[in-house]
Structure formats: C-alpha cells, structure tokens
Amino acid sequence: MKTLLNTLILSILPLFPGLLPASDLEREQRWQEQVEENLFEGETLMLNDGSVDFLGIYTESAQERPEGAVLLLHGRGVHPDWPQVISPLRTRLPEQGWTTLSLQMPVLDPQAKLDAYVPLFDEGLGRIEAGIDYLQEQGFDRIVLLGHSMGNGMATHYLSTTRDPRVKAFIGVGMSADKPELRSVMDTAIALRKLALLPVLDVYGSRDIDLVLNSVGARFDAIRYAGSPRSQQIMLRGSDHFHDGSEEKLTSVIVDWLGVAVGRCWADNNTLAAKQRSY
C-alpha cells in the first residue's frame, strides 16, 4: 500500500510544481525496497513529513528500561541502513541500552554535486521533526540527534533553526565546516555556535577527509562558544571518515559520553568541561 501511495505521489506532484520536493523520491523508493529486502535487525516503518512518506528503521533497546533514544541521520545520497557508520551504530547502540531510529533523509541522483544538496536541508527539517515526534510517542524523553557526514549539516540546521527542547544532545561523526560564504547551511561551525548549552560530541578520525580535519579548530571553538560543559571533541586514532574497522571503538566512545552527558547518571557528573581528547 505504501509503495502504491508513493507511486501516486510521484505521478501527481509534477502537476503542482510548488509542492514538488527536492529529494529524488524514485531513488528513495529503490533504497526502501533494498533495505526492506535485506534488513535483519530492527523493523521498518513509514513516517510522514507533512507531504510525503519516508522510510525509518526502528531498533529497540535490549534493556527493559532504555537509557533513551538516538535519531540517526545518514550522509549524502545513501539510506538508513548504510553499512558504514549508520548500520553499525543503529544495531550496536541498542545493545548498550539506547533505542535507535534511523531516517531516510532526502537524496539526489548519484551524480549530483555537493551544492545541489542545499535545498534539501530545509526539506530535511520536517523529516527530523517527524522522527522526534515518533520517538516522543514511544515515551522517550531523552532523545539524542546523531549525524554522519552531511547528516551533521542537516542535524545542526534543524537544531539551530528550531531549538527543539526535546533533543537533549547532539553527536556529530565526521563533521565539516566548508565555504560558509557559499553555503552557510552546510557549515556546522556556524550552526554549532547557536546551540546554547546543548551537549555536543564531535567525533572524527585521525585519517578523516580534509573537510573534516581542516575544520577541527573551528568546530571546537564553536562548541566552546555554545557553552555546555559536557561537550567534547574526540579524535579516533587510525580511523577514517567511515570508521571501517573502528566500529566498536566508535560505539564505545559514544556510549560512554552519553552516559555522563544525558544518561541516568548525568546529575552526578557536574565536573565535566568542554575539552578535546583522542583514543
């Protein structure tokens, strides 16, 4: 039924150009079919951003009493069970007590250039809000937003635009700050400065891409400016942008930080200060 509905939407929207989403919905539908066919952990569900349905993958915590929920946003042009970063975190975090919801974010043709994604950032706002709404409906009051690569830009755009109080922390894996004079919406350093007192974890690899490595200082300055003493910037030694082979280390760093930043033990950890670390 959902596939039929999406097909109808794709056929009707061209008649109303003002309603036409920037995302390539046909590509999203192909991703959805691939994910549903190959999913082994978690369950797929369809959410709505106010105009179209989109895919999410919900994976419940292994603990009877979850620590909270993490909303995952993938990088450019992929899907919510992408085998690098997103799928490992989507399935490993529940083992450590954190339910996850991974969203299909707007995508373009594989040949699309980076700047072409700028219009999709506003389109992503509704999807993130729908994901948070769903987690709230499941009873979660500790909701954390986590992005990888371009997913960070969409996450920080949402947080700096909406100031949604339901989001208790933000985790950025492989963030970059690039050419603000051309596309400020993609410059996470600009948005991070607006996240007053929101705990932020900035994780990157020592062998990350240049866009990430060249903006380490700018991002840390922005995190300190925002003022949360629970924020940290952590470099994973020997790891790259996709953290291949470092999945266990990445998960461990995130879970440890969540425990003291927004987990149940947070009230007993008032001595944290924003700082840079490496593992």
pLDDT bracket for residue 20 (50, 70, 90): low
pLDDT at position 270 is 47
Closest C-alpha to 83, from 271, 244, 195? 244
Radius of gyration in angstroms for the set of CA atoms belonging to the chain, rounded to a whole number: 18
In angstroms, the CA 270 to CA 32 distance is 43
- % of the chain beyond a pLDDT of 70: 86
Q: Provide the CATH number for the domain around residue 233.
A: 3.40.50.1820
Question: pLDDT tens digits for 35-93?
Answer: 999 999 999 999 999 999 999 999 999 999 999 999 999 999 999 999 999 999 999 99
Bridge pairing between strands 98-103 and 143-148: unpaired
The pLDDT of 138-149, averaged and rounded, is: 97
State which residues form the domain around 267.
Answer: 2-278
Q: Is the pLDDT of residue 138 over 70?
A: yes
In angstroms, the CA 27 to CA 14 distance is 16
Name residue 167's beta-bridge partners: 143
In angstroms, the CA 19 to CA 38 distance is 32
pLDDT at position 11 is 44
Tally of structural domains, the chain: 1
Question: pLDDT tens digits for 227-276?
Answer: 999 999 999 999 999 999 999 999 999 999 999 898 655 444 444 567 78
Question: pLDDT tens digits for 90-128?
Answer: 999 999 999 999 999 999 999 898 888 988 999 999 999
Name residue 54's beta-bridge partners: 47
pLDDT at position 113 is 87
Please count the other Cβ atoms lying within 10 Å of the Cβ belonging to residue 58. Answer: 20
> What global pTM score does this model have?
0.89
pLDDT at position 9 is 43
Check the CA dihedral 244-246-247-251 and report its sign: negative
- % of the chain beyond a pLDDT of 90: 78
pLDDT at position 5 is 46
Q: Is the pLDDT of residue 146 over 80?
A: yes
